[in-house]
Amino acid sequence: MRICKSLRIPFIIVVVVVLTAGCFGGNLGGDAKPAAGLEPVTLTFMLPQTHFKEFLKESIRQFEEEQENVKINVQVIPDNQWVNLIKTKVFTNETPDIVRIDKSVMMQIGTDRFVELEESEPWMERVIPAELESKRIDGKAYGLPVSSNSTIGIVYNKKLFSENGLEIPRSIEELWEVCRRFNELGIIPLYASDKDSWTTQTWFTSAAPQVAPEGTWDKLMTNRANWGDIGEFAQVLNDMVALRANGYTNRDYMIATYTSAVDAMSSGSAAMYVSGHFFINDVLKKNADIELGMAPMVYGDRITQIQSQGMFSIFKKSEHAELAKAFLDWFSQAENMDVFTNGWGYTPIFNDQKAALPEWLEILNRDYIRPGKVVPHVDSLLVGVDFMDFWGYQQELVAGDLTANETLQKWDEAYAQQMKNRKVPGWAE
């Protein structure tokens, strides 16, 4: 079933009704009108707060304008509650029609809760193969790919570095010196937004792969090592705390948010922030004239890369699964995906997309991605692990309530219980 621009989704609704009588078939098209008195249909769409960006709101408005009798009811969930709330919705059988979900979270919930998408879906043949494969589970597709491989590192203000004669730090020692210099200039060296725990953990999850001894991740997955046994991990956490303790971040880091980080970087009051593609794009929306770059974490010369996991997926409990599929097809069209991927600063996901990459992303591709100077992010190394507890422990760490060793010990306990609950090989009771 291919949805083209001339097709009215209300006609799909009529066909879905006919489908229940066993009369579905043929190719949809033309200027079909909804049946008289047809009630509007509402699709529910759940996603995390930071994902409900203006460009997505505009796309949803456009969809609703084109499809007269279809509405999208967006359920926006605070980021820190995201994973737990999805699990609660599944447990209580109150799932929406469509959800923005990562492969790792889907694996925690179970693929049996989601609609498996057949290879005959009209958008399948247009997906760049690597972007589809990175989201398959046991060889099967359970969602429309909506995120591409992206990088995480130190986002920096090029002008602040150049006009003050400073080089991008390549080691932790160089970072201390750069921070000291910016501090003297009255510029926030490295912004921290620890009210949002998902931003706090970015330092560790993008730095840990740079320092982990060979074989660490396999040992952690198979119960042959503990997180607290790896001294390099404790050092990375101690460095994160030291940045705050030495006054090299904003003083209000415990109440600062991702949004305030965007404001600080866009205004030029902060020189650096650890984040990903999406952050650069959000800053540029606030200040189109600012010049930003991204450098690797200061523990190596490779950029941290997250293998794309993001999908728009349909819950099996959806009463409008066919209509939800039609929405996914509409969203997959090149002109719609160009808006979406440009909004996030992603590379193309479909092979017929035409949008050009921004300069900063071209530089990343040239210097790191194409030459293969990348290291996988923790989420890509331990797919299916729920790190929400670890995020919270790191929030306690920077608040001064835990030491680095205590943080890792608490995470070891939560991690072990999670692996046992999932019955991962090597973790039997």
Answer whether 355's CB lies under 8 Å from 348's CB: yes
Q: How far apart are CA 230 and CA 339, in angstroms?
A: 43
What would the 3-class secondary structure string for 118-153 be? CCCCCCHHHECHHHHHCCCECCEECCEECCCCEEEE
Query: What is the pLDDT, as a whole number, of residue 380?
Result: 85
Per 3-state DSSP, what percentage of the chain is helix, strand, and coil (rounded to 5)?
Answer: 45, 15, 40
- Supply 175's token pair: 């970072």
pLDDT of residue 14: 33
Burial of 174 (0-12, 13-18, 19+ CB in 10 A): middle
Return the pLDDT at 1: 35
Residue 38 confidence (pLDDT): 60
Selection from 121, 128, 148, 21 nearest residue 327 by Cα: 121
Please report the domains of the chain, with CATH numbers, ordered by start residue.
9-145+309-348 (3.40.190.10), 150-307+360-421 (3.40.190.10)
The whole-angstrom separation of Cα 18 and Cα 26 is 12
pLDDT at position 379 is 87
Angle between helices 277-286 and 334-344 (to 10 degrees): 90
Say how far apart CA 402 and CA 394 lie, in whole Å. Answer: 8
Looking at residue 32, its pLDDT comes to 33
pLDDT the model gives residue 429: 61
Q: Hey, is 371 helix, strand or coil?
A: coil
Residue pair 347/147 in contact by the 8 Å Cβ criterion: no
The backbone torsions φ and ψ at residue 100, rounded to the nearest 5 degrees and listed phi first, read -85, 120
Q: What per-residue confidence (pLDDT) applies to 24?
A: 29
3-state secondary structure of 39: coil
What are the E-state strand segments in 149-295? Answer: 150-157, 188-190, 270-276, 292-295
* Beta strand spans in 180-234 (E): 188-190
pLDDT at 216: 97
Q: What is the pLDDT of residue 19?
A: 30
What tens-digit pLDDT sequence spans the chain (429 residues)? 334 433 334 333 333 333 333 332 333 333 333 344 467 899 999 999 989 999 999 999 999 999 888 999 999 999 888 889 999 999 999 999 999 999 989 998 999 999 999 999 999 999 988 788 889 999 999 999 999 888 999 999 999 999 999 999 999 999 999 999 999 999 999 999 999 999 999 999 999 999 999 999 999 999 999 999 999 999 999 999 999 999 999 999 999 999 999 999 999 999 999 999 889 989 999 999 999 999 999 999 999 988 778 999 999 999 999 999 999 999 999 999 999 998 887 888 999 998 788 888 889 888 998 788 989 899 889 988 999 999 999 999 999 999 999 999 999 999 999 999 988 988 976
Strands (E) located in 149-212: 150-157, 188-190
Report the predicted TM-score, pTM, of the whole model to 2 decimal places: 0.69
- Partnered with residue 137 across adjacent β-strands are 140
